[in-house]
Each structure stands twice: as structure tokens, then as C-alpha cells.
Structure 1
């Protein structure tokens, strides 16, 4: 059984696959507590793999599934990834990188959070397709790219909840990318569009 916060269909709002229709499976629970986290983990539904697959069937035309959280690596396993592949899904995951993942996941996005949370365990990933760093203007993202030099690199301005501070951070983020063109700008377009 898996602790599922929600399953929904929308557009991928961040990173390399921005704008792509996706079914999101949001797992509940995380081993970190980042101050900007936008997910309420107080409630969840225990679901079997069969129940998850039945829910996904509501959007049968979409074969791109994003496993997210919370921290999905605390629960995702080979069995569920196998079921998703058998049903024809391309499986992407966003993780803080502190736990190992099933090898068969198609796209791994590492979103490091050690600059925001104390006592973060070391990187446990063996493969990274994308590094998506939340940029707050106070921390240099270069060391993350050194750990995954072949990954697609995204910088995402931190949403602090303060409009003026967000604008300042976004300006700093753009300036950083212009000076370090190996990075790409990632905006939380789902928030800009006011969609889930």
C-alpha cells in the first residue's frame, strides 16, 4: 500500500518537461521540511497499485506520469514502476536525492534541498537526467551541477510568498543564468497559469 496525497491531471509546470500534459501521482510524506514547501501532508489515502492504476485510467490518453511528493523515493518501488511501464507510461520522478530509486524510472529530476533543510543525507542517486535547483540568491548552484555534469540543468526562482522578494530573486536568477549559460530558467508556470 502507498500513502498517496493526490492524483491529478495537468500540465507539467516546471523543469525540462514544462508544458507537457502529465498525470501526477503525489506521494505523502517527506524526510525534509523545506520552508517553501507547498504540499499539505497531513492527509493521505492508502492505495494499492491496482487502485493507483484504476485512477490513472481516467486520463488514458496521457502516457506521461510524474511521481512527486513530498519525497516519493520513500515509497516508490520496482513493483509500481513495473506496473506503470506495463501500461505504457513514461515514468518521471522528482526527488531530493536522499534515497535510492528503482533503476527502471525513465527520467530522474534531482531537486537538492540541502540549502534549505538541516542534516540532509548525502546524494544517493546513481543516475540523474535533470538537476532542478531552487534558487534563493544566497547559494551558488554550481556544486550541484558538478555532481551531475551531464544532466539538463534548471534554476528555479524560490517562491517565498513575498511578491517584492520573489521579483528580486527572479532578477538574480536570470542574471546568474546569463553569466552561466549551461543553466536554463525554470518558472513555476502552473502557478502563473493558476492551474494545479
Structure 2
């Protein structure tokens, strides 16, 4: 059984696949506690892999599923990935990278959180397609680029909940990218256009 926080169909709002129609399967629970996290970890519905497939089958035509959390690597396994592939989905995952993943996942977005949480283990990923760093203006993201060679590099301004501070961080993020043009700006476009 998997602890599923919610399942919904929307557009990917962040990173390399921004704007792409996607089914999101959000898993409950995380091994870290970041101050900006927007997931209610206490709420979940136990589901089997077959129940997850049944729940997302109405959106099969989009062909793209994003496993997120919380921290999905605490639950996602080979059996689930195989069933998602059999159902015709390209499988992406958003992870803090602290646990190993099934090798058959198609797209891995590593979002390191060691700047926000204590005692974060070293990355346990064999493959990284994308690095998405939450930019807080205090930590240099460049060290993550060296840990993920050939990955697509994204900087995303931290949503602090304060509009003035958010604007400052976005401006700092833009300046950083201008100085380090191998990074790309990732905005939380789903929040800008008010979709899930």
C-alpha cells in the first residue's frame, strides 16, 4: 500500500517540463522538514498500485505522470513504476535525493534541501536529469551543478510567503543566472496563474 496525499491533473508548473499537462501523484510523508513546505503530511489515503493506475487512467491521454511529495522515494518502488509504464505513462519524479530510486524512472528531478534542513544525507541518485534548486539568496547553488553533470539546471526563487521578499529573491535569482548562464530560471507558474 502507498500513502497517497492527493492525485490531480494540471500543468507542470516548475522546471524543465513547465507548461506540460501532467498527472500528479503526491505521496504523504518526508524525511526532511523544510520551512517552506506546503504539503499536509498527516493526510493520506492508502492505495495499491492498481488503485493508483485506476485513479489516473482518466488522464491517460496526457501520458505524463509526476511522482512528488513529500518525499516520494520513501514509497515508490519498481512494481509501481512498472505498472505506470504498462499503463502508457512517462514517469517523472521530484525528489530530495536522499534515497535510492527505481532505475526505470524516466525523468529524475533532484531538488536538494540540505540548505534548509539539518543532517541531510548525501545524494543517493544514480541518474539525475534535472537539478531544481530553491534559491534563498544565502547559499551558492553552484556546488550542485558539479554533482549532476549534464543535467538541466534550474534555479527557483523561494516562496517565503512575503511578496516583497519574494520579489527581492526573484531579482537576485535573475542576476545570479545572468552571471552563471548555465542555470535556467524556474518560476512556480501554477501559483502565478492560480491552478493546482
For 2:193 and 2:40, locate their aligned partners in 1 and report how far apart those are by CA, in whole Å: 21
Task: Kindly report which structure 2 residues correspond to 1:22-33, keeping only aligned pairs within 5 A, or say none.
Answer: 22-33=22-33
Aligned-partner SS, 2:10 = strand
For 1:87 and 1:54, locate their aligned partners in 2 and report how far apart those are by CA, in whole Å: 10
| 4+ runs deviating over 4 angstroms | none
Which deviates more from structure 2 when the two are superposed, residues 96-105 or residues 35-44?
A: 35-44
- Structure 2 gaps of 5+ residues are none
Task: Kindly report which structure 2 residues correspond to 1:33-52, keeping only aligned pairs within 5 A, or say none.
Answer: 33-52=33-52
Aligned alpha-carbon RMSD (Å): 0.5
Task: Kindly report which structure 2 residues correspond to 1:88-103, keeping only aligned pairs within 5 A, or say none.
Answer: 88-103=88-103
**Equivalent residue number for residue 188 of structure 1:** 188
Task: Kindly report which structure 2 residues correspond to 1:168-179, keeping only aligned pairs within 5 A, or say none.
Answer: 168-179=168-179
TM-score normalised by structure 1 residue count: 0.99
Aligned length: 196
For 1:66 and 1:171, locate their aligned partners in 2 and report how far apart those are by CA, in whole Å: 29
For 1:193 and 1:38, locate their aligned partners in 2 and report how far apart those are by CA, in whole Å: 17
Task: Kindly report which structure 2 residues correspond to 1:74-153, keeping only aligned pairs within 5 A, or say none.
Answer: 74-153=74-153
**Equivalent residue number for residue 7 of structure 2:** 7
For 1:186 and 1:5, locate their aligned partners in 2 and report how far apart those are by CA, in whole Å: 24
For residue 60 of structure 1, report the CA deviation from its aligned partner: 2.4
Aligned-partner SS, 2:85 = helix
Cα-to-partner distance string for 1:111-168 (whole Å, 9 max, x where unaligned)? 0000000000111001000000000000000000010021000000000000110010
- Structure 1 gaps of 5+ residues are none
